[in-house]
């Protein structure tokens, strides 16, 4: 009898694995077609800045949201309340909201969340922000059941070593339990020098490249520019295979930097010594248009799955949300070289959406993530018609749902047909391992305090039933 049960279980497992293998190609379409649930997390939450989302935990299935607020020296955090914790926010108080205080925290300078496992039972969440004359790191450790373990705060970069003034917000990753960050820091004067600073762990506590005192991290300057607004906030990503990339705005151009071994036919052109990284132009302005200073970049499961999203403002057309996809060769942007020294267009740039007739004071919001099958997914806000309200959208390539390229599908997630209401500011998108989305954003209304909202795609895990 036991032998029969083993054979039966083996057959069931084989069938399940075969089904997963056969259906793998349609996983992106399945995820894309899942409905979105829109919920209010906190009403009348004024002064929200630096909104960020992530999936955390051992299986990275728990959604988490963080932000800072003008006038408050805190990092705010929210996640679904675990069974043994009483919820205090969100729909029916099913979420748990908390905050972490730092008297030196400068509101508006908090990075994205970076998360990673410490072992089989716990994980960490990290942020970086300006605190006085330093970039300071904060780490909070949780068990996989979301119970709090401990927290740690440490100064990472002495701003005066690179000019003294933080530009925008740092971009953060967690690698091997350590901080990995990129930041733009500038000097003063009429012609300030901007530096793209890259910090990574080396373990040598006598190192002083980040601050005067000995430190276990190395800080390298990847690129510099001169003049106000000549650089914008960077977007750093580290792929699961260790591939590193940084996208950023540089003197009217969307740039991409990556570590590179210098060769005669394919030379490096930036980084320490000028020959350790390669910095290339992805997309440049034209005589009638300019690229925006906000650039967002994402890796997928491999270093070959890369996407960059940015805006292009032309006097002849309305603001366009654009996307650059890494294709290796045969693209139409991102001029680079190959190992033989020949020019190679390694990226493909396409239009995602025309961003309507947004008011001049209203800054478009957008973020990008890449699903397990390598398709970019972009959350953004848009005014689809003249005098229409602003809605939250999620867009992805037609190919994600099996429609032949080219083109993008824009899916409206939230918004109301009232011109006094704008939905989607600070849109922050994350995808879980199944490609299902979680977005944090604001809904703003004239003469009212903004609401902090979330949109997510519910998912279920089905286990086979075996009758004895």
Exposure of 110 by Cβ count < 10 A (0-12 exposed, 13-18 middle, 19+ buried)?
Answer: buried
The whole-number average pLDDT for the span 448-468 is 67
How high is the pLDDT of residue 45?
Answer: 97
Give the pLDDT confidence score for residue 25 in this predicted structure. Answer: 41
Does pLDDT of 14 surpass 50? no
pLDDT of 11 higher than 50: no
In tens, the pLDDT along 407-421 reads 999 999 999 998 889
Return the C-alpha torsion angle 216, 218, 254, 369, nearest 10. Answer: -30
For 105-133, how does the pLDDT look when each residue is reduced to its tens digit (9 = 90+)? 999 999 999 999 999 999 999 999 999 99
- Using 50, 70 and 90 to split pLDDT, how confident is the model at 358? low
Cis peptide bond upstream of 349, omega within 30? no
* Measured distance between the N- and C-terminal CA atoms of the chain, rounded to whole angstroms: 11
Mean pLDDT computed over 361-387: 88
Whether 461 has a pLDDT exceeding 80, the answer reads: no
Is a pLDDT exceeding 80 seen at residue 401?
yes
Delimit the domains of the chain by residue range: 40-229
Q: Is 312's pLDDT higher than 80?
A: yes
Task: Give yes or no for residue 96 having a pLDDT over 60.
Answer: yes
**Closest by CA position to 113, among listed 75, 149, 150:** 75
pLDDT at 241 over 90: yes
Q: What's the pLDDT at 60?
A: 87
Task: Centre a 10 Å sphere on the Cβ of residue 20 and count the other Cβ atoms it contains.
Answer: 10
Q: Is the pLDDT of residue 17 over 80?
A: no
Residue range 200-211: mean pLDDT, rounded: 93
Say whether pLDDT at 441 is over 90: yes
Can you tell me the distance from the alpha carbon of 1 to that of 134, in angstroms, rounded to the nearest whole number? 68
| β-pair partners for 186 | 165, 194
pTM above 0.85, yes or no: yes
CA distances from 361 to 36, 335, 442 (A): 29, 33, 16
Distance between CA atoms of residues 46 and 57, nearest Å: 29
pLDDT, the chain, mean: 90
Alpha-carbon separation of residue 23 from 20, 28, 29 (angstroms): 5, 10, 10
Q: In the prediction, which pLDDT does 334 show?
A: 98
């Amino acid at each position: 009898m036991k032998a029969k049960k083993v054979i039966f279980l083996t057959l069931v497992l084989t069938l399940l694995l075969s089904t997963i293998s056969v259906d793998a190609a349609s996983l992106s379409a399945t995820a894309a077609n899942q409905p979105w649930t829109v919920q209010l997390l906190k009403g009348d939450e004024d002064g929200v800045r630096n909104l960020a989302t992530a999936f955390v935990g051992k299986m990275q299935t728990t959604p988490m949201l963080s932000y800072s607020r003008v006038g408050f020296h805190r990092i705010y955090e929210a996640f679904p309340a675990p069974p043994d914790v009483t919820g205090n926010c969100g729909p029916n108080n099913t979420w748990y909201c908390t905050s972490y205080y730092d008297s030196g925290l400068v509101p508006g300078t908090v990075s994205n969340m970076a998360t990673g496992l410490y072992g089989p039972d716990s994980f960490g969440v990290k942020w970086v922000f300006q605190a006085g004359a330093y970039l300071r790191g904060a780490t909070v450790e949780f068990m996989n059941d979301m119970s709090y373990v401990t927290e740690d705060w440490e100064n990472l970069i002495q701003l005066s070593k690179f000019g003294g003034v933080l530009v925008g917000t740092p971009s953060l990753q967690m690698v091997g339990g350590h901080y990995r960050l990129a930041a733009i820091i500038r000097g003063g004067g009429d012609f300030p020098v901007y530096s793209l600073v890259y910090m990574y762990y080396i373990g040598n506590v006598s190192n002083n490249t980040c601050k005067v005192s000995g430190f276990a991290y190395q800080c390298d300057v990847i690129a510099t520019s001169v003049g106000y607004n000549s650089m914008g906030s960077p977007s750093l990503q580290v792929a699961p295979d260790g591939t590193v990339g940084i996208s950023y705005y540089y003197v009217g151009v969307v740039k991409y930097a990556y570590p590179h071994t210098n060769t005669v036919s394919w030379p490096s052109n930036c980084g320490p010594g000028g020959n350790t990284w390669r910095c290339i132009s992805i997309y440049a302005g034209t005589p009638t248009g300019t690229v925006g200073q906000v650039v967002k970049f994402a890796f997928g499961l491999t270093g070959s799955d890369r996407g960059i999203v940015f805006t292009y403002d032309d006097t002849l057309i309305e603001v366009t949300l654009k996307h650059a996809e890494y294709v290796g060769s045969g693209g139409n942007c991102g001029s680079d070289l190959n190992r033989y020294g020949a020019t190679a267009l390694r990226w493909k740039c396409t239009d995602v959406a025309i961003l309507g007739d947004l008011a001049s004071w209203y800054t478009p919001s957008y973020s990008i993530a890449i699903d397990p099958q390598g398709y970019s997914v972009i959350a953004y806000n848009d005014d689809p018609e003249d005098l229409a309200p602003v809605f939250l959208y999620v867009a992805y390539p037609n190919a994600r749902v099996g429609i032949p390229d080219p083109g993008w599908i824009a899916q409206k997630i939230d918004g109301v047909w009232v011109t006094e209401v704008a939905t989607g500011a600070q849109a922050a998108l994350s995808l879980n391992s199944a490609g299902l989305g979680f977005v944090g954003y604001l809904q703003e209304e004239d003469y009212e305090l903004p609401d902090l909202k979330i949109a997510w795609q519910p998912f279920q895990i089905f286990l086979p039933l075996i009758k004895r």
